Structure 1
């Protein structure tokens, strides 16, 4: 195995890995080629023309391609262009590597030969007397051996690079496509799938207050056939590639079934053919194999488990699990089969917002890691060429990108004014369908001192959400996408003299980051921000933003125990575990087992924990005492990573569905320990309560239309 080492950085040239600070980073092909070229030419100024000739041989690229790749090289090295340690820019000339490197051979063959020679000498009982000339001979042979190994390594590298370029030259870069709307109706249309003969479109219809159902639309005359169930939700229709059949998902409470039905008989549920059951905690993605023999789907046992990919033989209903990476965290949450049916692409993620791209050779069951990306890719399909991928751009996604298997962006397939999701490939060897959607929420405040008068707060024309009330002052924090990315803002609540408030931006992530919860500390000096399984603490007075070092773990349902201590839920041994974290000492401690999550009532000095199995809220005066039942049932335990339990000045509120299977907000009174319905809000989870009133979000606009790409 050949290694290049410099300044505590190691490059594994066989596996194209860069090892820095104990972390292995998979290098994209162009990034690797550029870095190796710099390593081969240390302390020499390299012009852009040289880089084009050596790294992009036979390929027409612009200087921007070099600049973008160089940014990735510096990022992999941990280099700062303002004070570079490795690569510097020489104005009007090119680039130069600051440091030299050493090539170190760690070859098992050399070590093995030495061992074998020693063993042979011992067996012959020979006494070895090495003359000076023989020592010189050995010394002379070693550089030749090193040179031979280096030559072989270079030859293999050249062959690999040449093979890569030959593949790259066969890749067709997609020209940016036009758009054609397929649906423009009231309410939301989701999960589009066009029939193999291109004549019909099946999709999920989502109407507020009703179970979702399936529409099958004739694309010529736009006539529709609706398929519904009186109790359950129907979704994710997928056409069989060989028959006039549709697979789809049925869900009702904890029941999850994948059905298959003939198109002409699909309205009669008695004609549905059950393919397999799935977990009530999952939302499976369905994909047929191109020959129609198998249906692939992913499933998870519970919300604490990651997704696993299965396949069902439709002839004998035999289900098996495919070879795939570790499924902790989100697991293998998205996948697709290549048009030729030979490979599977899988998106794998644990807890942090990173994506690993894997491919599986289906015939040989051979799994290969292709890329590790610093953002969470929303979905993926194979391009028609069987070699590249099409997927949404980083969150919030307004484009579809074409990328190679290393995750490198090759082209923009579509640029859209609304966000994109749920793409699928059309059987015409060039186009795709996807959902173009827009969600706009506004923030409102009900003032408890003014007969719950509702006020519309400082809202933009895009998403404003996750409102949080300060405990001791007339301020609130919220998340807005007014600057494209999700950022946190601070604003004063309006008064009679000042209705229009000016908000202040607290964070500048400028990254594809999803945010899930905001919460002020007891003295309002700090603001907790829950991002993609990471906690960020904002010091409001100093304007400092610090990420807590909690590693790669699940994080949900955060609350403040005191000014320096957080409570949150994580996953241990595929089950929820309530944890306590001290920000000052950085000590993480496990709380009593058997609880999904919990919060602390500062006023009455009591803990309220949500039991694992029953979802019942239990009161604990002290962690060592026996818990007391409140009788309040909160189901589900978490909603969008927020704990489904909110502390009010005089009680607790949570969403519950124990009353005639109708979900509503329930209130538990500390005074008389009674349970009763709570006030109706437009949302069941995105709200906070204190002495001043209730702050909440209200959906202002929700549109989801199905679009099709259209080649020029």
Structure 2
């Protein structure tokens, strides 16, 4: 706490502060209750950290203080759990005699933070005249009257100073400081049944191009609509998905990414005067598609995000349309996401890039293309889906949840721009000086469902759907297989909850905004949940609801799993360019590296063998007491959206076929494999096996309901 203590001493060294009925002695970390009946009851000793918290709340009186601010300013940026913060807040409340349900000192508002609501009186005192709270501090009546007069005068001067400061602050807030703009009009662009995405607007022709599918089992086809005539036409056909459509500068061509199975193509559609496709030309072919595409201003080249190999990060490339020459533009070092989106300015001089970093943060990079110099590199504490240059080229629009921000490229300043009152899925392009083409979606975008194991012939009637008004993810069965645990996000607050088929929900813990929870796995013997929070491994006890962190956020870990006895955890950690399989003792925290070039591992149900997947996808089995006698079992895919699980007889794993997924099971003894259809036209095929093996628990996108709107501000 050294840094905060120094700052505290500077602004409090000549202050006498009263909060409600308590006078504060920051140096002695004590409170003095002015309403106490006895001297013994008057003095309340606080722990240093609790006093630091009170100090910061006083300093920020009248403002909501988020948990992130407390981590930065009270905990000096140390990594602690949200529960640790709540415990210190509770200690402070107890010392103040505050009631959390009917607070008079500290008010808690979800998604905003803590607010000090008690009256705060701050008086400036001269050195030597500070309050002394020892017994026997007696002054003469004359001295008391003189001091009282001086204090009253100082109090009046202080009130006058406060009024002046408030006036200055209001002037700054409403005159100088950028404020959010009011939405003037919201105009529907599409109203088709289903889902619209990846849209672009061409101002001269007044046309919109976008991808659309009617249901979750359909393909994303390409559509074009004239806003002046209200005519809509479908541009694509066949069993393929079209993404990231972008108009050329003259509006006569449309570039798009076309995906069919595991094969992706970069295509250019030429349009005639009747808005029909006269020609489709393939510019580039590749294996995987990261939806992102933009034209060079002279229509001679395309910029797009490409992952050249499975273990490479997404990288921005430029392809010349005539020569088909591919040029690498960016060189990210963050695996596996890297540079996942780019947008070129209207004059073609600068390229905006979104680069995923660790800890749920993104770098917004602006690159000057002529010189190759980075104009700015700003760290965002959220992950925008995309970016859009404004018409003047002075900056970029980006969104987080339902809020739109503007990044001024000249000032390197990010400011809130527009707050929408609907579910904002994305921003796609400008449609005027103060107009944005956006996507509007329903709140419930994903559901947790049970599906029948396709390898079992018997009928199953009790398949449940856990449909909630929020975002669900990473489910797993509990000891009672009629209950599940999963990540749940509602009002932008990530939580871990349990939910039963009877409809009962229980909150286990919650975190502040912008945290990512993944890879939840329940251990029935210990009633504990394993998971990753922002790349940090943790366990959560269901009964006590206490979180225990096992690694730091500086470690690049993935794919954790319990040992059979629950005493250890396996996970893969990347060190340099190599993945290591680590086994860590839960109680002692001691870890040991087991094998190199391993991305995931699981023990069998008897705790005799370890099954591990190498970086080439091959799954091996080895006795736990020696890792040398390994046997190949099956070849699995390496992808973050699929999973594998063991039973006493089989290994089950999902296999992608474009945006279709199959379920494969391989006999652990004979090596014989069977394959059956699992999901159609999905983006995600991680699953958990029911203890009976007859059902699977997985995540499915809810029935799509997304439309395009123009937002004027």
TM-score using structure 1 length: 0.69
Q: Quote the residue 1:413 is aligned against.
A: 418
Structure 2: how far apart are the matches of 1:67 and 1:95? 20
Structure 2: how far apart are the matches of 1:46 and 1:228? 73
Q: Quote the residue 1:656 is aligned against.
A: 655
Q: Quote the residue 1:688 is aligned against.
A: 689
TM-aligned CA distance change 1:416 to 1:291, over 3 Å = farther
- 497, 502, 505: which one aligns with 2:504: 502
TM-aligned CA distance change 1:429 to 1:292, over 3 Å = farther
Q: Quote the residue 1:668 is aligned against.
A: 666
Shift of 1:232: 4.3
Structure 2: how far apart are the matches of 1:617 and 1:545? 32
Equivalent residues of 2:494, 2:517 under 8 A apart: yes
Shift of 1:389: 3.3
- 281, 304, 308: which one aligns with 1:272: 281
- 2:474 is the counterpart of 1:466: yes
Larger CA deviation: 238-247 vs 668-677: 668-677
TM-aligned CA distance change 1:484 to 1:606, over 3 Å = same
- 201, 208, 221: which one aligns with 1:194: 201
- 292, 295, 300: which one aligns with 2:307: 300
- 341, 354, 360: which one aligns with 1:353: 360
Structure 1: how far apart are the matches of 2:603 and 2:711? 55
Shift of 1:505: 0.7
Shift of 1:384: 3.6
Structure 2: how far apart are the matches of 1:574 and 1:505? 39
Shift of 1:525: 2.3
Shift of 1:649: 4.5
SS of 2:535's partner is coil
SS of 1:507's partner is strand
Structure 2: how far apart are the matches of 1:362 and 1:454? 58
SS of 2:462's partner is strand
Larger CA deviation: 436-445 vs 213-222: 436-445
TM-aligned CA distance change 1:323 to 1:69, over 3 Å = farther
SS of 1:176's partner is coil
TM-aligned CA distance change 1:371 to 1:205, over 3 Å = same
Q: Quote the residue 2:440 is aligned against.
A: 436
Q: Quote the residue 2:712 is aligned against.
A: 711
TM-aligned CA distance change 1:222 to 1:570, over 3 Å = farther
Equivalent residues of 1:308, 1:332 under 8 A apart: yes
- 2:252 is the counterpart of 1:244: yes
Q: Quote the residue 1:582 is aligned against.
A: 585
Q: Quote the residue 2:601 is aligned against.
A: 598
Equivalent residues of 1:304, 1:571 under 8 A apart: no
Shift of 1:593: 3.5
TM-aligned CA distance change 1:377 to 1:656, over 3 Å = closer
- 2:494 is the counterpart of 1:486: yes
Q: Which runs of 5+ in 2 are unaligned?
A: 18-58, 76-84, 93-115, 125-171
TM-aligned CA distance change 1:323 to 1:673, over 3 Å = closer
Query: Aligned residue pairs: how many?
Result: 579
Shift of 1:694: 3.1
Equivalent residues of 1:426, 1:433 under 8 A apart: yes
Q: Deviations over 1:575-627 (max 9, x none)?
A: 655433333333444443454423211326222233433x3433223443343
Equivalent residues of 2:569, 2:586 under 8 A apart: yes
SS of 1:351's partner is coil
Shift of 1:41: 7.1
Equivalent residues in 2 for 1:6-85, closer than 5 Å: 7-8=2-3, 43=13, 67=63, 76-78=72-74
Q: Deviations over 1:221-269 (max 9, x none)?
A: 4433333364643321111124511111133445433222322399769
TM-aligned CA distance change 1:388 to 1:76, over 3 Å = farther
Q: Which runs of 5+ in 1 are unaligned?
A: 1-5, 12-34, 48-62, 97-164, 495-499
- 230, 238, 243: which one aligns with 1:235: 243
Equivalent residues of 2:440, 2:709 under 8 A apart: no
TM-aligned CA distance change 1:605 to 1:466, over 3 Å = same
Structure 2: how far apart are the matches of 1:427 and 1:483? 29
Structure 2: how far apart are the matches of 1:218 and 1:302? 39
Q: Quote the residue 1:453 is aligned against.
A: 461
- 2:547 is the counterpart of 1:545: yes
Structure 1: how far apart are the matches of 2:289 and 2:241? 13
Q: Quote the residue 1:424 is aligned against.
A: 428
SS of 1:460's partner is coil
Structure 2: how far apart are the matches of 1:435 and 1:242? 24
TM-aligned CA distance change 1:321 to 1:520, over 3 Å = same
- 2:645 is the counterpart of 1:646: yes
Shift of 1:678: 5.7
Equivalent residues of 1:342, 1:362 under 8 A apart: yes
Equivalent residues in 2 for 1:65-214, closer than 5 Å: 67=63, 76-78=72-74, 174-206=181-213, 208-214=216-222
Equivalent residues of 1:577, 1:597 under 8 A apart: no
Q: Deviations over 1:397-428 (max 9, x none)?
A: 1332335568866334241422422x222252
Structure 1: how far apart are the matches of 2:237 and 2:9? 64
TM-score using structure 2 length: 0.69
Structure 2: how far apart are the matches of 1:71 and 1:470? 30
- 2:322 is the counterpart of 1:321: no
Shift of 1:565: 1.9
Structure 1: how far apart are the matches of 2:486 and 2:118? 45
SS of 1:217's partner is strand
TM-aligned CA distance change 1:91 to 1:382, over 3 Å = farther
Equivalent residues of 1:171, 1:385 under 8 A apart: no
Shift of 1:539: 1.3
Structure 2: how far apart are the matches of 1:39 and 1:340? 52
Equivalent residues in 2 for 1:604-615, closer than 5 Å: 605-613=608-616, 615=617
TM-aligned CA distance change 1:584 to 1:177, over 3 Å = farther
Q: Deviations over 1:51-75 (max 9, x none)?
A: xxxxxxxxxxxx9999479998765
Structure 2: how far apart are the matches of 1:694 and 1:437? 30
Equivalent residues of 1:570, 1:577 under 8 A apart: yes
Q: Quote the residue 1:621 is aligned against.
A: 623
SS of 1:666's partner is strand
Equivalent residues of 2:263, 2:288 under 8 A apart: no
Q: Quote the residue 2:156 is aligned against.
A: none
Structure 1: how far apart are the matches of 2:482 and 2:239? 45
Q: Quote the residue 1:525 is aligned against.
A: 527
- 525, 534, 537: which one aligns with 1:535: 537
SS of 1:478's partner is strand
Q: Deviations over 1:316-363 (max 9, x none)?
A: 544433366644442222232334444333222233211222222333
Q: Quote the residue 1:382 is aligned against.
A: 389
SS of 1:272's partner is strand
SS of 2:272's partner is helix
SS of 1:592's partner is strand
Equivalent residues of 1:304, 1:574 under 8 A apart: no
RMSD: 4.5
